[in-house]
Amino acid sequence: DVKVTQSSRYLVKRTGEKVFLECVQDMDHENMFWYRQDPGLGLRLIYFSYDVKMKEKGDIPEGYSVSREKKERFSLILESASTNQTSMYLCASTAAGGHNQPQHFGDGTRLSIL
Amino acid sequence: GQSLEQPSEVTAVEGAIVQINCTYQTSGFYGLSWYQQHDGGAPTFLSYNALDGLEETGRFSSFLSRSDSYGYLLLQELQMKDSASYFCAVRGNTGFQKLVFGTGTRLLVSP
């Protein structure tokens, strides 16, 4: 069965800290995604990666960066956390090829920036 | 750009049928997907329509009209466990299986 694992369910950090959110998938998927989910705004794409060391900006990349050193792991980095980055962060992965490859999501990390 | 509109909330009773609509504006189109998310849980894939018409999967069906830029998710024989948020999502003309999600419809099923 497909498994996407996010390292933390809940995380509390302080303004200005560098924050790392980790995501691991065990399906050998090429594509991985980071979203943030806020009430009334749905899921918004921050960054995605279609291969190791490859990354593309999503719709709201400002204040974030990513790292994909290994195929199974995709990290989201908040360079200097701010209170407006308090949110639910969701990682997803999908296989390459075809038009209908469902995205498989992790359980999310609820991040609070104080 | 791309945008999707869906109702923010829908209520229904057990055993009823409910339809959740989604209209979209995209610069390209490969297909419309639906995802379900229970409170505190991960979104899970429900269905995908690339062509016009109805796709049926058990109690859930999804419809697409490309000419109208419109689709809907139909849930039949509603059960309490169907209470969740439902998101439509569009694949535009970009690659890499990238999706744009709607803002979600919260379905409340009452006894």
pLDDT in tens, B29-84: 888 999 999 999 999 999 999 899 999 989 999 999 999 999 999 999 999 999 99
pLDDT, tens digit, for every residue of A23-81? 999 999 999 999 999 998 999 999 999 999 899 999 999 999 999 999 999 999 999 99
- Chain A contact for B92, CB < 8 A? no
CB A35 within 8 A of CB A89: yes
Name the closest residue on chain B to residue A10, using Cα atoms. Answer: B40
For residue B48, the chain A residues in CB contact (below 8 A) are 100, 102
What's the confidence (pLDDT) of residue B98?
81
Across the interface, of A90, A95, A103, the residue whose CB is closest to B99 is A103
Q: Please indicate whether, in this complex, the C-beta atoms of B98 and A100 are within 8 angstroms of each other.
A: no
- Chain B contact for A45, CB < 8 A? yes
Tokens of A71: 């195929």
Q: pLDDT band at B96, cuts 50/70/90?
A: low
Tokens of B16: 């009823």
Using the predicted structure, report yes or no on whether residue A93 has a pLDDT greater than 70.
yes
* DSSP code, position A26: S
CA B42 to chain centroid, in Å, comes to 15
Per DSSP bridges, beta strands A109-113 and A10-13 are parallel
